[in-house]
Amino acid sequence: MATRTPPFAPFEFLIAWRYLRARRAEGGVSVMTWISLIGIALAVFALIATLAVRSGFRAEFVDTILGANAHVTLYPQAEADANGRLSRAIVDYDGMAARVAAVPGVTRVAPLIKGQVMANAQGRNSGVEVFGITRENLMTIPRIAAADTSFGDIARFDQGIAIGSGVARELGVTLGDKVRLISPDGVKTAFGTSPRISAYEVVYVFTAGRYDIDRTRIYMPFDEAQVYFNRKGVADELEVMVEQPDRVDDLAMSLAVAAGDGILTWTWRDASGSFLRALEIEDNVMFVILSILVLIAAMNIVSGLIMLVKNKGRDIGILRTMGLTEGSILRVFFICGAFTGVLGTVIGVILGCAFAIWIDPIFSMVNYLAGGGVWDASVRGIYQLPAKLQLGDVLSAVSLSLGLSFVVTIFPARRAARMNPVEALRYE
């Protein structure tokens, strides 16, 4: 009678290792093992690389939003002025800013003047959006005041304007050059409204990391913006920054109450919510597709084990007559398949992590080999392909790969365990 042995005894690993080291005459089994291993490694590599790029793109996109834009914008409902025209001006903007700043969780409140004008320099024109803001508030915007991505003297902001690097490139200007801003809503005369044309010195050039911001945004001193846009004594809106931008929805109602009646809120999630939801849907779809890729790679283990069981039928019969139980035979072939899955997963994790860590030189090489233009910032919004390696993503890929590898291995291993030793040795 066959004796019961402890699960995964050393001799089971020894037999499995000998089977994995197929002789030259059994080269087909060895080839299938290598194909399975390479397939799983590439599938895990693709999954981790995709998850890292997905996390990096989302983090970079959100960081550029929070680093250069208001977390919450407060603006009044439109009201008719003395001339019957709709106006959204905030008269007591200092008092409103003080009340909003007192709300717990708020880090900064800045009155803004906003307007769209035409910028002109050296015969070139560009449509831009002007933000009127004080120098003190401008210096607190992370992506704008970042010294490593900007140049010029932000302390001289009151003497000129700060422009995005995309605007500077489009107009062909640099520090010290003059830029003319042309607004159709200028000086009111007896003959109507004439365009307002004013020239300003470029004292600061910033790079926020978002193409649409760098290409269209100009900052002007708040007092000058009030004069230029005919907003004397008023502000258009309040820019609010909070400690926890991810929980900005919880503060929206408190901010509106503190601001007063007739004030509306517009959060960064409202402005970019559709894009973030599209990213989330795309992330889920990509994970499902790549999971199928891992499953296909794992199915190669089944093919290799079936061939191995067929070639080792005589050995299985001899082992059974020597006293090995069905459980021992099952574990031997399970170890064969699981080893391929584990080794392929380890190689895939190493390759995926290496890709995420060294993505910049890898992407630079790809861009060089492709002749440039692989990444179009005007389409994707950010300037480079980011990658952020997260432990949760790696664990998800490892769990998926090992889980599928172990599950698909059970079926051919059970087939080997249930093989009748008499039938296996009948024609030997």
Write down the H helix ranges in 82-162. 93-101, 135-138, 142-145
Determine the pLDDT at residue 25: 47
Ranges 153-162, 250-259, 319-328, 389-398: which has the least confidence: 319-328
Distance CA(307)–CA(299), nearest Å, equals 13
Which residue intervals of 312-390 are DSSP H helices? 313-321, 326-357, 359-369, 377-380
Band (428; pLDDT cuts 50, 70, 90)? low
What is the spatial distance between Cα 206 and Cα 192, in angstroms, rounded to a whole number? 37
Residues 6+ apart with CB under 8 A from 83: none
Residue 130: pLDDT band with limits 50, 70, 90: very high
Give the least confident one: 94-98, 129-133, 295-299.
295-299
The per-residue pLDDT for range 180-218, each reduced to its tens digit, is 999 887 666 655 567 888 999 999 999 888 888 889 999
Tell which wins on pLDDT, 92 or 87: 92
Q: What share of the chain is helix, strand, coil (3-state, %, to 5)?
A: 55, 20, 20
Q: What is the pLDDT of residue 183?
A: 86
User: Tokens for 370?
Assistant: 């492709």
What share of the chain has pLDDT > 70, as a percent? Answer: 80
* The pTM of the whole model exceeds 0.85: no
Cα–Cα distance, 405 to 305 (Å, whole number): 12
Residue 235 tokens, joined: 């502000």
Helix H or strand E encompassing 61: helix 27-68
Rounded CA separation 218/168 (Å): 10
Where residue 374 falls among pLDDT bands split at 50, 70, 90? Answer: low
Whole-number pLDDT of residue 29: 54
314-327 tens-digit pLDDT: 666 666 666 677 67
Q: Which residue has the higher pLDDT, 307 or 151?
A: 151
Banded pLDDT at 23 (limits 50, 70, 90):
low
Mean pLDDT, the chain, whole residue set = 82
What pLDDT is attached to residue 2? 46
- pLDDT at residue 22 greater than cutoff 70: no
Q: How far apart are the first and last CA of the chain?
A: 23
- Other Cβ atoms closer than 10 A to 182: 14
- In the prediction, which pLDDT does 104 show? 92
Task: Name the token pair of 332.
Answer: 């031997």
Residue 201, φ and ψ in degrees, nearest 5: -80, 140
pLDDT tens, 253-298? 899 889 888 888 998 888 887 778 887 888 888 888 888 888 888 8
Mean pLDDT for the stretch of residues 411-420: 73
